[in-house]
Structure 1
Amino acid sequence: MRESKSVKKSKFQELKDRVYYRHRHISDDEVILLRAAEIDAEMFVAAMRIIVSLGVLAAIIFAIDDVQQIGEDYLGRQVKIAIVSCLSYLIVGIVSILIIKINAFKFWMSWVAVTADCAFLFLNGWFSLINSMISGDFIFAMPLVWLAPLVLAFGALRFNPLLQTYVTLLLVSGLSILVSWEPDVLAIDINDRIALAFGAPPNSLRIVLTALLGTMLVVAVQRARWLLRQSIIEAKQKANLFRYLPAQVVETLAEGRLSKLREGQLRDMTILFVDLRGFTKWSEMQDPKTISIFLSEFREIIQHASEETDAIIDKFIGDGALLLFDGASTAQRAIMCSRLISMNVRMWARDQAKKYRYSVKVGIGIHHGRVFAGVVGSDTRLEFTALGDAVNTAARLEQLTKEANMEIIASHAVMQAAGSSEESKHWIRLTPVHLHGRQNPLLIYGYKHP
């Protein structure tokens, strides 16, 4: 089936967005969120632009009678300049909303919009100076120059530091040009004209502009608080979503690569299974609180060993755990982890033997091979896991530790991956075992404590 033009256009826009945001080193998911936030901000700014335009127009209309009573021709022209500027400003706001409504907004349009804001301000000030025949030193006597704080606020609402820097530079440059401007001929009654610029009608317009700025900032602050609240809610949701994932995977998710993790990968990993011996029988005679404390202490040992060897705790399974080793030196790290668990459990068992009346022992199986590793689960709970024959083999080797009367058993694949090591003298070759689904017997080694 051929794709529709709208679908092709949407995909093309998504591609352009990724290119635009690439220099920010963010993920595809963040690109979508940022684009949505920028469109939302542009819609809000466009609406505020319309409100400001209508507010200023209303103030000008109310001041027309006072201007007519004064009877100065240049004031009439000044009013017309202000009306044309406000109407142009209003049109920009309306056009911006229409563009967003028809889903035709492009990221570069924000730059055009802020340039138009500054251009209107600059042109209004320039024409006002020419019409009034006064020096640029008095540019700030022109009421509409008070739009400058509004333009800066519009830029800030877009949450784009680069865009805000651009707006600031435009305003500073434009106002600097206006301040340095001098007419060829100064008005004879320049003092009177400056005095009129601070009369009741212009001051009323300044008050309106101040009220609009204050109103806009109130709305902006409320919007920022809403965004902050949404961020907090989303952070809590993510924290709840990631609580079942290992720290190494959460770091990857924090970079926004959930979609990649969900795809999964085939990779060579070393897998370690650890399990308590005789725990089920012992726990049947204990109260729930004792079992909970005991398992918590045991899991702290596993957690400590995993942190020391940079292991991924795939999951705790009752009185056991599945650990994964990815990256460099996986076999060496797995062997070190198994020794740490064994040593710490022995120390813990000596300290707790009288308390629990239970001779704590563990069985550990280690295998190296190719597995599928990735994140699985729903949007409310994610879980990192590894699947494959290598995982099943490691679990079987852990079970063999009881039959072979060994605490740690590793496959020949682990020994090969680990290479030559000073610890090799502590390993003894055991009788090869036939595992279900394998044609050839599996060479295994047991660890002999020094």
Structure 2
Amino acid sequence: MPISVPSLRLRHALAALLLILAGFVLAACQGSNGIPKDMRPLPAKLTARMEKLNMDPKAPIYIRSYKETSEFEVWKQRRDGQYALLSTYQICKWSGKLGPKIREGDRQAPEGFYTIKPGQMNPKSNYFLSFNIGFPNAFDSALGRTGTNLMVHGACSSAGCYSMTDEAAGEIYWLARDAFLGGQRSFEVHLYPFRMTPENMAKHRNDPNMEFWVMLKEGSDHFEVTRKPPVVGVCNRRYVFDVDTGGVPLNASAPCPANMSVPVWLDAAVKEKQAKDQVVFASLSAKYDAEDKIAAETAAADAQKLAAKTATDQQKAVAEAQKSVDAATMAVEPPVAAAGGDATAAYTAAPALVEANAATASVAVGGVPAPGVPLPVPSPIRPVVVAPPPQPEAPAGFWGKLKKKLAVSG
């Protein structure tokens, strides 16, 4: 059956409309400039800074993060092989508190050493751009820690992740992309609770995570000495750094190899730094302990003063209450005399008066009687009914008869 010209025109028009709509959808997905978000170039400010720091645009990167100050650092390798700080981003949100993630659902952002490979990058993230941290790593798994889908992403919202603004997440993603394009097979993300200085270690010396943080500090110390990301391994359920095992593979749950060692020069440099840090840590810890002791003693003395004042106030209130009750009891007698012997009304009102005074006394000590010192309450006063004096009867005999006779005659 031949197709009419109007039908062909209608189909062509519909096809053209669909192409236009598809273009709008594609442009919306790719951004206003039509480039997919994961493929956008780095901002000129970053490329200019790389040039200033003698960095190749596709050189390897390394990331360090600090919860306490919400800082996210991107370091990049210079042409001399060492790393320099390229950019520091503000973490928009991280969830939980200082300390490692333990289990799925605890809404805790992880701490530790994590490796990011190309397969962990997510260009289609619902939170702009993201990459998976890789939790749990070998150390976490050896301790039975659980959790999934923990990311560094945009959108400024977090439930166990490290959330950035979209602008920051984009720059971090593009830096990682270019490093992979330059040949870096993976990059390290080291997540710390705070900067691992002796001052901060002393500040948090009584935290239950201290042993874990001392282990993290060792990894940080290796970087501070070498200005290169440490090679991180796990054995005997602990992190080890820059070790030589003679080709023996490390097992996270098994004892470390007996012949495991760190290069002599590096071991000496790290230990020298740690010895200096220990002097500062010990001095500050003693200072903070003394301050804590003074603060505790002051708080205890203040508590004793408050307790003594409270007891004195209660005793005064009870004494005042006793006076009120005594006054209420004594106030019953004058109305009896004034009533001319009819004490029923006065005595009937007395119990109510006593109760009113007792209630007032109770309020004086905070609404309840003082503990251990009950308010005195007198025995109920029963009304006394005074009988009228008996009237004398008329005398019998002669005078009675005379009275009747006079009555009859009158």
TM-score bracket for the superposition, by shorter chain length: under 0.3
Greater C-alpha Rg: 2
Q: Which has the higher contact order (CA 8 A, sep 6+)?
A: 1
More helix by share: 1
Q: What's the TM-score once normalised by structure 1's chain length? A: 0.25
